[in-house]
Amino acid sequence: MKIWIDADGCPRDIREIVFKASERLRVPVDVVANSPVATPSRSWITFTQVPSGQDVADSFIVDRIKAHDLVITSDIPLAARAVEKGALALSHRGELWTEDNVRERLSMRDFMAGLRESGIETGGPRPMDKADRRRFADAFDRLLARRQSP
C-alpha cells in the first residue's frame, strides 16, 4: 500500500498525522501539490510538485495509484476516480469514500454548483476543528491496521 496526499487543500495537521504513521510503519507516502509543501526528509516520503492547473494533481495521482492504495483528499471527483480504480479514499474529516457514498456526494456537489451558478449563496465547508482531526486520525488508524494485518 502507498498513501497519496492531495496536498493542495490538505490541512497541515492531517499531513502530520499521516507522516507520523508513515514513520512508525514505514508506509510510503507521496505528497502531490502544485506548490511546495514541507515534508519530512525520509526515503519513503516523497513530494511531487505538478504544474498549476485544474485537476493536474488529481490526474497525476489517478494515473499512478494502484488498487489498495490510499488517497487522502476532500476532492470528491478525485475520490470517485480513486475508488473506481480500487483504491481507498479518505477525506480530511475522516469520511471513507465508497462506491455508494461518493456517487451520492458527487450528485450533491453538482447540485450545489448549479445553485452557485444561478447566484444562490451556498457557503463553504466549516473550518476544521479538533473533532474533525480526531475522526480523521481514528479512521486513518483503522485503515492502516486493516492493511497491516495478514
3-state helix, strand, coil in the chain (%, to 5): 50, 15, 35
Instruction: Give the separation between CA 135 and CA 140, rounded to whole angstroms.
Output: 8
Rounded average pLDDT over 39-49: 95
The predicted model scores a pTM of 0.85
Span 45-67, pLDDT tens digits: 999 999 999 899 999 999 999 99
pLDDT at 50: 98
pLDDT at position 22 over 80: yes
- Which residues, in sequence order, are bridge partners of residue 29? 3, 45
In contact, 27 and 145? CB cutoff 8 Å: no
Question: In this predicted model, what pLDDT tens digit does every residue of 116-127 receive, in sequence order?
Answer: 677 777 666 778
- Report whether CATH 1.10.357 matches the domain 3-148: no
* pLDDT surpassing 80 at residue 112: no
Residue type for position 126: R
- Neighbour count for residue 128 (Cβ, 10 Å): 15
More confident residue, 102 or 56: 56
How far is CA 149 from its chain centroid?
Answer: 22
